[in-house]
Amino acid sequence: MRKAIIGKKLGMTQIFSPDGKVIPVTVILAGPCPVVQIKTVERDGYSAVKLGFEKVGEKALNKPELGLFKKIGVEPHKVLKEFRLEDVSALEVGKMVSCDTFAEGEKVDVVGTTKGHGFSGVIKRWNQHRLKETHGVGPVHREVGSMGANSSPSRVFKNKRMPGQYGVERVTIQNLEIVKVDVARNAILVKGAVPGPKGGIVTISNSVKA
C-alpha cells in the first residue's frame, strides 16, 4: 500500500552503521499528521487523502479553513497537503498518521522547495565561466556573453541561459533510503540530502521507481 507523510527538515548529521561506516543523514520531523479529508472515486472522481501538519492558532486561518477543522473535530493545522493513494480504506478522518508508518530500509521519494537565491547572474545560476580579464572585454566580466549573430536570426533563441530568479523550485529526490525511524521524537533519518533550507516543509512517500 502506498503511504505518505508531511514533515519538516531539521538539518543534516551523520550516524554510524554496525560495521563502522559513516552515513550522512537528513533529520526530518515527520508528523503526527491528522487525516483532514478522504476523497473517493465514487464521490470525487479519484482516491486521495488530505493530511495536516504543524498546529497553529485559530487566528492564523480564514473562516473556510477553520470551518473544515471544526467540522471534523481536529485542531487547526498550518500545512495541508493532498496525496493520491489507491487504497484509503484503512484511513479515517481524524486519525493520526505518525512516522512509524515507515520502516528502516524502505525506499522513499522526498519532495521539497529549494532555497531561494533571488535574482542571480549566469555564473551563480548556471555555473558559467567569467569572461577574459583582458583589454577590450570589459567593463563587465561576469555578464552572459554572446547572444548570437545580429543579422540572422536577429533574435535570442529560446531557453538561452540568462540571469533571473534562482531557486524556490519544487524538487523531488527519488529512491532515498530510510536509515532510522525514531518514534519517540517523531523523526525520520533519511540517507543523503533533501531539498530545501532548515525548517522547510517536505513530503515523504513511497518510491515510485524502487
pLDDT in tens, 134-160: 888 878 899 998 888 888 888 999 999
In the chain, % of residues over pLDDT 70: 100
Tell me, what's the pLDDT at 178? 92
What is the residue-averaged pLDDT of the chain?
88
Same domain, 141 and 178: no
Same domain, 192 and 150: no
Tell me, what's the pLDDT at 203? 93
Instruction: Give the torsion through C-alpha atoms of 113, 115, 120, 123, to 10 deg.
Output: -100
Same domain, 43 and 126: no
> Which CATH number does the domain housing residue 69 bear?
2.40.30.10
Same domain, 30 and 76: yes
pLDDT classification of 65: cutoffs 50, 70, 90? confident
Same domain, 107 and 199: yes
Same domain, 133 and 194: no
Higher pLDDT: 147 or 125? It is 125
Same domain, 194 and 129: no
Q: Hey, what amino acid is at 188? A: I
Owning domain of residue 80: 4-117+165-206
Cα 196 from Cα 210, distance rounded (Å): 23
| Residue 61: closest CA among 38, 74, 79 | 79
Same domain, 126 and 75: no
Same domain, 19 and 91: yes
Q: How many domains does the chain have?
A: 2
pLDDT classification of 60: cutoffs 50, 70, 90? confident
Strand order in the sheet with 33-39: 77-84, 48-55, 33-39, 96-97
pLDDT classification of 190: cutoffs 50, 70, 90? very high
Same domain, 136 and 112: no
Task: Please indicate, yes or no, whether the overall pTM of this predicted structure exceeds 0.85.
Answer: no
Q: Where are the alpha helices (DSSP H) in 39-108?
A: 41-44, 63-72
* pLDDT of 91 higher than 90: no
| Residue 36: closest CA among 89, 76, 3 | 76
Cα 81 from Cα 68, distance rounded (Å): 14
* pLDDT of 191 higher than 70: yes
Cα 108 from Cα 205, distance rounded (Å): 5
Same domain, 65 and 111: yes
Tell me, what's the pLDDT at 195? 92
At 116, list the grid cell: 531561494
Same domain, 136 and 53: no
Higher pLDDT: 114 or 55? It is 114
CB neighbour class for 152 (10 Å; exposed up to 12, middle 13-18, buried from 19): exposed
* pLDDT of 1 higher than 80: no
Here the contacts of 118-124 (C-beta below 8 Å, separation 24 or greater) are 118/165, 118/166, 118/167, 119/163, 119/164, 119/165, 119/166, 120/163, 120/164, 120/165, 120/166, 121/163, 122/161, 122/162, 122/163, 124/166
Tell me, what's the pLDDT at 210? 73
